[in-house]
Amino acid sequence: MPRILWAYHTTPQSTTKETPFSLVYGLNAMIPMEIQESSPQFHNFMIEKSNEGRKVNLYLLDEVREQARVKAEALKRSVELKQKSKLRPRQFQIADLVMRKTHPYQLKNKLSPKWTDPFRVVEVLENGAYRLETLEGGVIPWTCYGTNLKFYFS
């Protein structure tokens, strides 16, 4: 498990293009192979330059974190726009026959029907909500949103 965590913390993430280690500590981590005496990074190490570089990195750390936050937010918004572009809003009129999506607690197993019996639209409310009734005339006391309804064709 520690090796997996080390790999995660030292790999640049796709959203921020930064490693979680660098966002916390302000510098890139050295992998154990780079610590060996034969690596150029080990031979060229100077304490004075390292301390100066660390101070500069810590000074700029807030800016790097802010840039990472902006990148993550931009990615989140682009994914949201992509999802919304695939969404087809449905408009139902009064007296349309519709089927309602089954609630997860009503499903007994994976072969249970995903849509319930047909209903009739009684009232169109704002924000895509609808009031329904059964075909026999029984009123349903709660409202349903158009995303959970689909047309019923008999």
Whether 29 shows a pLDDT value over 80: the answer reads no
Same domain, 30 and 63: yes
Same domain, 71 and 114: no
Alpha-carbon dihedral 103, 108, 109, 111, rounded to 10 degrees: -80
For residue 51, report the phi and psi dihedrals to the nearest 5 degrees: -65, -40
Whether 14 shows a pLDDT value over 90: the answer reads no
Same domain, 81 and 10: yes
C-alpha–C-alpha distance, residues 139 and 133, integer Å: 4
Same domain, 113 and 70: no
Same domain, 9 and 33: yes
Whether 99 shows a pLDDT value over 90: the answer reads yes
Here the CATH number for the domain that contains residue 107 is: 2.30.30.140
32-73 per-position pLDDT tens digit: 766 666 666 666 767 777 778 778 878 888 888 898 999 999
- One-letter identity of residue 45: F
For residue 127 the two structure tokens come to 């924000």
Same domain, 11 and 71: yes
- Going through the chain in order, the beta strands assigned E by DSSP cover 97-101, 115-124, 129-134, 139-145, 149-151
Q: Does 92 reside within a domain?
A: no
Same domain, 11 and 75: yes
Single out the residue in 86, 115, 140 at which a domain terminates.
Answer: 86
Same domain, 9 and 82: yes
Same domain, 11 and 60: yes
What is the pLDDT at residue 133? 94
What is the pLDDT at residue 34? 66
Whether 97 shows a pLDDT value over 90: the answer reads yes
Single out the residue in 39, 59, 86 at which a domain terminates.
Answer: 86
3 state DSSP class of 106: helix
For residue 123, report the phi and psi dihedrals to the nearest 5 degrees: -145, 140
- 113 is in which domain, residue-wise? 97-151
Average pLDDT, the chain: 84
Same domain, 16 and 61: yes
Count of structural domains, the chain: 2
What is the pLDDT at residue 37? 64
- Tokens 């639209």 belong to which residue? 121
Single out the residue in 56, 86, 116 at which a domain terminates.
Answer: 86
What is the pLDDT at residue 122? 94
| pTM across the whole model | 0.47
Same domain, 18 and 37: yes
